Structure formats: structure tokens, C-alpha cells
Chain A
């Protein structure tokens, strides 16, 4: 279950680099529509030097959480602390302690990569020479040296995203926020960005809060994952903890045609748990998936249900998501 470590009004413990406590945020619906409750008591805590992924579909409340923690938006209620600073009290101190890589490209297209970094450094209070030195270092670090003096508008998607991350790091923030850092990137650029982020978190022991709607991204990059749904954290833990909590393999049967009655056919099969059906996709869990398959097929066959394919898999974050949110993640993202 979701961990709600503090009662209302409690202070952030010194051990956490970042903590959100019972955040509530409502946006006006507009044109007579009812207000939208983007956050409904979201709590999350990130240990120093670790990477936390907020995983959820669009509209789950991930970006709103980032906006509140980066001082862009104010919560209706709840507390938020970043680097030990109360986000609602001392916004300036928070802004000096954080780096933000927002969902959209945040470089100035009419400036070169180097100029973008130098300006960001100067705004953060670095001297002209320190800012130039830091810019050169980051350009080399992110393999943008050759493109350093080209306008950012000429950068490819992957290069522009790397520049965004470099801009977020220019003042060596204590906490870095990465809001969907790889959305819109092609698979190769995404893999490269993953390597960069993994390297950063390993080399610099940086605390980072990452939002994503890619399960594999959360699995690969994050020390801990919090699954967010309708404005709350529904479950939180290391990817391994979350997966092992599921105990056993996922058995997935693709039926020849959608048949909601098929789920009840499997109720009698021994060792099978958590049977659910979603259209023509039948899912269940078994301690030993391979052993369960013959019994599953026999049961379906005797009930006259045609089967297209069967797969058995070790639990994935997708299964964790399904278990806690009650809907499959991939299907939703695709929808």
C-alpha cells in the first residue's frame, strides 16, 4: 500500500532530499465544468542521492507534483520540502537548489548550445568566466562539443534533450527534476539519454525525481518507483520489491475472440490466482506458469473457448501497475 509517512503538519525528516506530504491541487474546470482534482493527497519521499520515478499515465498527477516541487504551482494543501527547504515558504532558496528539465524543450532556439548554457549559469549567479567554463564542461560531458556553436533550433530531438538536461545541471543543483525526459525521442536517442542519466546518478550521487510513462524507463533508471494514479501514490518501492510482491509468473492467454465469460472457466484450475479478462486478453498468476499452461488450455478447450496464443512471463512493472491501478498500463498508453 501507499506509504504515508507523516501526519499533516509534520516536518520533513532530515534524511530525505525531497518530500511531498498529502499534496492536494485542484484546477478550475472551465466553462461550467466541474473542477479537476489533479492531486488528491499525494505523498512521496526521496532519499538523498537516489533516483525516484513517478510512473503513471497522462493526467495521473505526475507533472503537477513536479510543478509544485519546483515552485511553479502552489498546492491547495499539503507540504512540500526540497533540499530541506519548505517550497511554500522560501521559493528563492528552492529555485537555487533545483534544476528543472521540463516536459517541453526548454532551450532558446535562437541561441547556440553554448549561449544557452552560459545564460542559464549567469542567471543562477555564476560569474561570466565560471559560467563559460561550466558550459564548456557540460557540452563535452553530453557529447555536444561539435554542435556547441550552432543554434539550438538546428539540433536533433536527442541533442536538444541533452542540452535541456545540461541546462538543468548548470549550477550543480542538489535535486534535479526530469519531467518525461525521453518522451518524443526515437529508441536510439532514448537509450542514449538513459545511459546519460544513469551515469549522472552514479557519478554525482544526484537526487533526482523522474516522471515517466515508460515502464522500462522507470525500471532501468530508478532506485525506487512510485505508481501514481488519479492524484495519489498507489504503491511505492524498488522495482524488484514491487515485482517480487506479485509472487509468481504472469500467464497471459490471447483468445481468438473477446469472451468475458472465459474468466470464470479458469476459476476451477488449481494454482491459478488473480484471474482477469480485458477484451480478448485473459490474465492470471501462477506460482509456476509453465506448469499451469496445460491445465489452462484444457479448461478453455473443454468450455469451447478458442485460444490464439499463450505466454508466460516473469512479473513486470506492467503487472504491478495492473495489480494496483486495476487497469493494464500498456493498453492505456496506447489508447
Chain B
């Protein structure tokens, strides 16, 4: 980014009427994304109650589901390495947390639309891509923190993961990719429907089936065949399966890598679609 003005900035009385030469390139995209991410993080930190819930909620899910379904590991056909349901659901709850919290991502856009913030940004040189990337980076940061908290609680609860650091890393990546995919979806819906209630309704309608038609809290091998079949096409299942495989003793990278690849490809596609949704939004205003 280069900026040249004939007059040094800072003088109000003699405003430079020279057009600023701004080179628009990937540097601008990164810089704008960074600025918008920082804005989102700052907003979160200014709402301590919301920030606390963001951290406590996955822990509650981990403990609740962990207790409620503790005995499902005894169902014939349920497969866990150590027979510990806590170890089974830890990656599942991590993916579920990423899924649920990123479903809300688009609400920020709607708040910006209800105020004049969206119009002001769209009438400024901000890249549309940066507005999307800003929300994605923010969601991913949240997901990383939540993932580490869930791991810490699981570890305190006695869960041990043979996959070690590479397993944790794969889990973080898989959870972030789910975050990005769902946040893009939520952003796109926000730009298309422009109404908080509609966004939340549609988001719930998608998120809950994605969650329960996957192996995140239940081994699909003990589920009806159709569930098993549907789960094969479910990105939430790809993420849970990849994370669980990477955390297990003998990681089958043939299970992990193709799923991460699919998730990454889907994330790129969804980011492109969300950016395209800006055009539809602008046509309608």
C-alpha cells in the first residue's frame, strides 16, 4: 500500500485536494482484514459476560454429554480405543462448539446493516473479501481458544490422547475449518435475508441436523444405516472423524488428510460464495 499526498496530513485548514494514490492489492486485503478482526476481538473483550459464556459453554457441553451418554460406549459395535466416552466426545464437542458459535457469525453483519455501519464500509475502499475474512479470522481465533479450553478440561477429567501434539493440531485445524465454513454460510444468509430472526431460524435449521447426523457425540456405526450414509457427506462428520483419528494411538492419515482436504476446499468455496453475496445485497439496496 502506498499513499502519497502533497501536503502532510494533520492540517485541517488547508485540506489537500490531491487524490490519494492507493495501490489496491493483496496487501490491502490483509491489512483491512487485520483491522476488522481487531475490531471484532475488541468488541468481544468489551462484553465480558459474553466472552465468559463463549468459554464456559463448551465445557458444559463436554460435561453434560459426557455424563448423559457415558454408557453408550457399552453398546456393541461402539468403537473407542480405551473405552472412555470422554475421550470419544472431546473432539466431537470441539467441532460442535465451532459449529454452534459460528452459526451466529452473520448476526454481526445484520447489526452493521441495521445501523449505517455496513453502508459506510461498502462506500469506503474496504475490500468485500476483507469484510468476510475479518469475521472468519475472528471466528477462528475464538475456536482456537475454545478448543484449548475443552482439551484442558478433558485432560483434567482424565482423558488422554495418544495422538499427542499432531492430534491436537489436526483437531484445531478441523474445528477452524468448520468455523470458517459455517461462518461463511451464516454471513451469506445474513446478506441475503438481512433480518436477525430469519438468520437465526435458518442457521438453527442447518446446524442441528449437521450436528446430530455426524459422529461428533455418537459413533455412527451404531446408528441406522441411513444416518451412517448421510454422515459420509456431512462436513461436521469429516471434522469429527479426522480429529478423532488424529488423536488416537495409530493415526490413519489416510482417514485424516482427505477429510481435511475436503474441509479446506469447502471453506474456500463458501468464502467465495459469501463474498458474492455482497453483490446480491448491493443490488437490493
Contacts and interface: CB of A to CB of B under 8 A. Distances in A.
Interface string B85-98: 00000000000000
A127 B3 contact: yes
A130 B1 CA distance: 15
A105 B17 contact: no
From A27, A125, A171, residue with most partner B Cβ within 10 Å: A125
A171 B32 CA distance: 16
Contact of A174 (B10, B17, B22): B17
Interface in A100-123: 100, 102-111, 115, 119-120, 122-123
A98 B20 CA distance: 12
B84 to A, nearest CB: 42
A229 B116 CA distance: 25
Interface stretch (A133-141, A214-222, A326-334): A133-141
Contacts of B12: 137, 141, 204
B9 A134 contact: yes
Contacts of B153: none
A71 B123 contact: yes
Given A111-B39, A141-B12, A100 B119 contact: yes
A105 B115 contact: yes
Interface in A146-169: 151, 164, 167-168
B124 A95 contact: yes
B125 A103 contact: no
Interface in A14-61: 27
From B31, B123, B126, residue with most partner A Cβ within 10 Å: B123
Nearest to B2: A125
From A27, A98, A100, A172, residue with most partner B Cβ within 10 Å: A172
B10 A96 contact: no
B10 A123 contact: no
B124 A203 contact: no
Contacts of B35: 119, 122-123
Interface string B3-15: 1000001101101
B125 A95 contact: yes
B124 A72 contact: no
B125 A111 contact: no
A97 interface: yes
Contacts of B19: 83, 93, 96-97, 174
Contacts of B31: 122
B74 interface: no
A88 interface: no
A65 interface: no
Interface in B99-143: 114-117, 119-126
A126 B115 contact: no
A190 interface: no
Given A72-B282, A97-B19, A125-B125, A92 B24 contact: yes
Contact of B20 (A96, A104, A141, A167): A96
Contacts of B282: 72-74
Contacts of B3: 125-127
Contacts of A314: none
Contacts of A108: 39, 43, 117
A96 B22 contact: yes
Contact of B123 (A98, A105, A134): A98
From B17, B46, B284, residue with most partner A Cβ within 10 Å: B17
B156 interface: no
Contact of A130 (B9, B22, B121): B9
Given A92-B125, A106-B117, A106-B120, A171 B20 contact: yes
A98 B119 CA distance: 13
Contact of B42 (A67, A106, A110): A110
A124 interface: yes
B43 A104 contact: no
Contacts of A109: 115
24 contacts: A72-B285, A74-B283, A83-B19, A92-B24, A95-B123, A97-B19, A98-B123, A102-B119, A103-B116, A107-B115, A107-B117, A120-B120, A120-B124, A123-B126, A130-B9, A130-B10, A133-B9, A134-B10, A137-B12, A151-B46, A168-B120, A172-B16, A174-B17, A206-B15
The 8 closest A-B pairs by CB, nearest first: A106-B116, A102-B116, A104-B116, A106-B120, A70-B123, A100-B123, A130-B9, A110-B43
